[in-house]
Structure 1
């Protein structure tokens, strides 16, 4: 299962990538919304994890809107990471099509649980 991390923070992406790789996920990293869109067009992932703040002109909410406008990523889960839990931001993210919203610092176990729920049942690793 492929996860595309569109995250501008090296510390956040490092922790998330290590966690996901340890659980058997293939991880693709991009720092900008534009690069994430390009990568999604080349090979759509099974899940997107997107930071609100990204390098370049596209923020996480706009990236989500553009991914939802594409046929090949319309139904792909998109989890948004933000530094604020503001209700207006949550509404904006939901309206853009984000399927999950997490406030930084994110609970790795909660995020992992949601990512794993997108994995087809037959390909899930056995529980320890």
Structure 2
């Protein structure tokens, strides 16, 4: 079973993401912000990280940069799920090493499809 780290400062979004992915057969660990996610990612290796962009303590792009600096996350998919949709922000995410960019509000079926595709 693939393990996913779902990162969002909104409890309701975290719950929706976790419910969607657990229903699709994934093991999901939740983190409340980028700092919390980085700490969890250092103690366990996840198959995929799904993170929000705008969060306190550490934003999603900074989290992506930190994860990509670690050998255990260089080849793992990292998706950013955010309300941000500007080309500049998407470019910054890609430059940081994000695998993909999804815009909220999200369609649960589409989220499950994208996760399945990037996990192979």
User: Under a length normalisation based on structure 1, what TM-score does the superposition of the two structures give?
Assistant: 0.87
SS in 2 for 1:72: helix
- Residue in structure 2 matched with residue 125 of structure 1 by the alignment: none
- Residue in structure 2 matched with residue 99 of structure 1 by the alignment: 99
| Runs of 5+ consecutive residues of structure 1 not aligned to the other structure | 121-128
- Residues 60-89 of structure 1, C-alpha deviation per residue, up to 9 Å, x if partnerless? 000001111100011110110121210100
- Structure 1 residue 7 and structure 2 residue 8: aligned? yes
RMSD: 1.2
| Residue correspondences, number | 119
Which is higher, the Rg of structure 1 or of structure 2?
1
- Structure 1 residue 53 and structure 2 residue 54: aligned? yes
| Runs of 5+ consecutive residues of structure 2 not aligned to the other structure | none
Tell me the distance in 1 between the aligned counterparts of 2:118 and 2:89.
24
- Residue in structure 1 matched with residue 117 of structure 2 by the alignment: 117
User: Under a length normalisation based on structure 2, what TM-score does the superposition of the two structures give?
Assistant: 0.93
Once superposed, which parts of structure 1, at least 4 consecutive aligned residues long, lie more than 3 Å away? none
Instruction: Report if aligned partners of 1:61, 1:92 keep a CA contact under 8 Å in 2.
Output: yes
